[in-house]
Amino acid sequence: MNAFAQEPSAPATPEDRLQWKGFCEIESDPVRRPIYGLIFLFKWRDEDADKLEASCPEGIWFANQTVNNACASVALLNIVNNIPDIDLGDHLQQFKLFTADFTPALRGDAIGNFEFVKSVHNSFARKMDMLNADLQLKNDASSRRKSKAKNADEDNAGFHFIAFVPVQDRVWKLDGLQRQPQDL
């Protein structure tokens, strides 16, 4: 008997999205205008900590990525929350105000608990994306139990979205996996 009401490659239903609590990997939509920043997909690697800002600069909204598979949404939030005079809508405007005095890590945690963003993020998901994310979590937990030390294998490195945005007449690299933004 098939455990799914639909094929795993079919779009996730609204009920699937409401019941599932994680973030899914999503594919991008076509480019729309105006462009306020850029998001690039990179093979993940550790950056040189000396290149990072010592603290989050005044006037820059920056969140760390603290939940799996949310790097696209974190990158997008790191851009839109730095655009002066943009209409964010009620949900995002309230979120920006609520997190204004948070550290980047606390902002990342707040994103992970922000149902509005999670719902929009997962609206692009297929049932297969949800199943893959759940399987990845299971595999990660299993391998952590087997080995405390995890080798960083270049072939198994994941991919990661990073935002680049102009703020205060400078270009900033806003990488949610780094502690702070980087002034380029």
Q: Report the distance separating Cα 64 and Cα 28, nearest Å.
A: 21
Beta bridge partners of 54: none
Q: Report the distance separating Cα 167 and Cα 31, nearest Å.
A: 21
The structure tokens listed for 80 are: 């839109």
Q: Report the distance separating Cα 77 and Cα 62, nearest Å.
A: 8
- Asked if 160 is an active-site residue, the reply is yes
The structure tokens listed for 136 are: 């990845």
- Active-site option among 24, 56, 71, 121: 71
The structure tokens listed for 33 are: 């205008």
- Asked if 56 is an active-site residue, the reply is no
| C-alpha closest to that of 170 among 154, 182, 153, 158 | 182
Q: Tell me which residues are annotated as active site.
A: 71, 160
